[in-house]
Structure 1
């Protein structure tokens, strides 16, 4: 879909850029580091099917003038519902002009049967989540061995809840770099669960099979 609003390179101190999206099979533009980090969450979130940045424009009147509001993202979830999302630093939430935009977005969504959401760094950057996502997300699928993934899952099923080090020892026949590539891939794709928020991933982190994988 053609973008409603083109995001041009910035000449100011603000950050702008783009990154590839596996869910959308295209480059997704962002106009702040907070938006970039939010895209990481959307890519990781299993309830998100697809999403768009700068998906539409809403015209509205305020104090006798006509303005245009460009919500940051439109998201489609696995229950086939749509959600408009505004990404905003917490310190700007209560600015009058932003409160007006939020109300405009909310009313637009009510008219279309969608939901409207404002997200801040509190939801986007809790604890060590962004650090851990950066660590596990950049694993090209071409480097992933299905047989090694299955072997890791089977060994984890035998071990039960254990540390990464204990799982590594149970898979000692797998070359180390291959083990960690596949292991991180399995976490990123929700086959293995661990606490990504409250601590940095380390060999002492506890891991377990996701409920959908308990038959291994």
Structure 2
């Protein structure tokens, strides 16, 4: 649960809710950049779930005690957790912002927790950003029932499509896109998505390693 309210009526910024199937409920975002990062977390096979504004942290910055809420905590499939701050790259050039984030890195490291800063350079990079938007468009609707999921896995094992074009031939275009959206099959989102794109039948979508 968020330690502070993300979306308020008095806010003068673009804010909204991301409809997350992975979390089972919508997650509030307070910048379009943060909403864009949710797309990557939503489709990452490494991420089990995530939450916004997860904790209050206190640490010293230039001799003063500050109270700070990281933007996101991700719960990973291996049982570990990762905290993130989402910032425009230009803001990292501001001295007080850099000091605060440098202090945050030291604070999280001292308590044995992983912390990273992600910027628009990663979130809006192409063709990744466009691919994520297209894939999530086809994620709408309910998850597959256990029976239907088993039938899909059986067809994947039987036909073993090597690329997106072959996946379309097996399932039809609409269902092929939906399989991408539900991460039942994956692609490398950092490459242009075409019918010749390689598909991965296990493990979901490939992307830049956020957890380093």
Whether these two folds match at TM > 0.5 is yes
Judged with a 3 Å threshold, the aligned counterparts in structure 2 of structure 1 residues 75 and 11 are, in CA distance, closer, same or farther, namely closer
2:162 aligned residue:
161
Judged with a 3 Å threshold, the aligned counterparts in structure 2 of structure 1 residues 147 and 82 are, in CA distance, closer, same or farther, namely closer
Q: 2: distance between equivalents of 1:102 and 1:212?
A: 32
1:187 aligned residue:
180
Count of aligned pairs between the two proteins = 199
Runs of 4+ in 1 over 6 A off after TM superposition: none
Superposition pairs of residues 7-156 of structure 1, within 5 angstroms: 7=6, 8-9=8-9, 11-12=11-12, 14-62=13-61, 65-137=64-136, 138-141=139-142, 145-146=148-149, 149-150=152-153, 153-154=156-157, 156=159
Q: 2: distance between equivalents of 1:80 and 1:143?
A: 25
Cα displacement (A) at 1:61 = 4.0
Cα-Cα RMSD? 2.8
Judged with a 3 Å threshold, the aligned counterparts in structure 2 of structure 1 residues 168 and 133 are, in CA distance, closer, same or farther, namely same
Judged with a 3 Å threshold, the aligned counterparts in structure 2 of structure 1 residues 187 and 69 are, in CA distance, closer, same or farther, namely same
Judged with a 3 Å threshold, the aligned counterparts in structure 2 of structure 1 residues 150 and 49 are, in CA distance, closer, same or farther, namely closer
1:207 aligned residue:
198
Gaps of 5+ in 2: 205-212
Judged with a 3 Å threshold, the aligned counterparts in structure 2 of structure 1 residues 142 and 113 are, in CA distance, closer, same or farther, namely closer
TM-score, normalised with respect to structure 1:
0.77
Aligned residues of 1:194 and 1:205 also touching (Cα < 8 A): no
Gaps of 5+ in 1: none
Cα displacement (A) at 1:156 = 4.1
TM-score, normalised with respect to structure 2:
0.78
Asked which structure has the greater CA Rg, the reply is: 1
